[in-house]
Amino acid sequence: MSRKPFIAGNWKMNKTISEGIALVDELKGLIGDVSNVDVAVCPTFVSVAKVGDAIKGSNIMLGGQDTFWQESGAWTRQIAPSMLKDAGCQWVIVGHSETRGRFGTVDAELESVLSYFGECDTTVNMKAKAAFAAGLTPIIACGELLAEREAGNTDKVIVSQMKADLAGFTKDQALKMVIAYEPVWAIGTGKVCDSDEADRVCGVIRNVVKEMYGDDVADAVRIQYGGSVKPSNAAELLSKPNIDGALVGGAALKASDFAAIIKAA
């Protein structure tokens, strides 16, 4: 099955509202003729509505960086899926390693506070279901720490995350969802997973989907790679059979670099 590539930019904690609008305005001019690749940007919560206004009518879609599993209530600092939908989002990232409290690099003095970021596979699953209920499509992220890889536990970690994160969806939902494999040790570190190994792990993910939802869903589901994706390595990564796109961090903050990755797809 031919799967349409999907390149999404996760801006993380970068870009003011005016900077974000300037970025997408430049990006629109660079990729206006691209129709065979799905493209999305995921700004900060304070920027999402204004950036959404700036990309209306273009071939760029809007996503949120996270959401909550409840629609309202006494949940200070949380953002409901319906709020993202109302702001113009079609997509939302759930389960990113940084919301799980799993970081590729962090200052040593901050190690003791990382648990305060943490969420678990149960909450990732709840968030993804809440996203679908609100009319959003989740990009469900997974990935292993360097210590887990060095211990030979990459596949064990990924399979465990995926079986929990992907549990209990309808077949229609499973066909629509996107999965992002992001080895934690490659996020924000400049290190990139070897393209053959990235493809192999994405194949492991596809096999989990096959076990849970069948061949047709496994053939249809799009799996992105994320982790220091840049113009110089995008074409090689995106040429692999199990890699259907990229979840891009740092390179998504520069319109020319992000456009180059999109065109590599």
Per the document, the length of the chain is 265
Residue type, 24: V
From the list 3, 6, 8, 85, the residue with the least C-alpha distance to 258 is 8
Residue type, 239: S
Residue 144 near residue 158, CB atoms below 8 Å: yes
Structure token pair of residue 53: 């206004």
What is the distance between the alpha carbons of residues 137 and 129, in angstroms, rounded to a whole number?
9
211 catalytic per annotation: no
148 catalytic per annotation: no
For residue 113, the SS3 value is helix
DSSP secondary structure letter of residue 186 = G
From the list 143, 140, 239, 263, the residue with the least C-alpha distance to 191 is 143
Catalytic site residue from 96, 98, 144, 148: 96
Residue 68 near residue 46, CB atoms below 8 Å: no
**In which residue are the tokens 């390595």 written?**
233
Residue 55 near residue 62, CB atoms below 8 Å: yes
Catalytic site residue from 98, 144, 148, 182: 182
Residues 6+ apart with CB under 8 A from 244: 3, 4, 5, 6, 222, 223, 224
Catalytic residue positions?
96, 182
